[in-house]
Amino acid sequence: MPRKIKFIAYAGNGLLVGLFTLGALSLLYKGKLGGFLFCALVVALGVYNLYTTWKAAFLLSEEQWLESELRKAEIREKLKTMGRAASPPRSPQQQPPADKDPDRI
């Protein structure tokens, strides 16, 4: 994930969470339950957005991609040693032709 996008997401959602947390606490102190619940809902949404941004950045990192490629290569090697051919899935052009007769079961 590009640094600019990550920074904007973290800064924007962090600011949103901070301001609405202060607003929620202020409204709770004043005894306005409806406003407090609204602010608490916005804070929860901001925290969820921070989590999803962090998770997306983690999953899209190049290191994770390289690690998964290494794991796949290791699994292919293990399968070869077990006597199974670890071939990539066939493309639609390589698939055997389907039976053309619809009456055949």
Encode pLDDT of 69-89 as tens digits.
899 999 988 888 887 554 555
Please provide the average confidence, as pLDDT, over all residues in the chain. 82
8-state DSSP, 105: -
8-state DSSP, 39: H
Asked whether residue 70 is assigned to any structural domain, the reply reads: yes
* Alpha-carbon span 103 to 105, nearest angstrom: 6
Domains contained in the chain, number = 1
Domain containing 21: what range?
Answer: 3-81
Asked whether residue 18 is assigned to any structural domain, the reply reads: yes
**Cβ neighbours of residue 5 under 8 Å, at least 6 residues apart?**
none
* Alpha-carbon span 28 to 23, nearest angstrom: 8
Helix/strand/coil percent split, the chain, to 5: 70, 0, 30
Report yes or no on whether pTM surpasses 0.85. no
Asked whether residue 104 is assigned to any structural domain, the reply reads: no
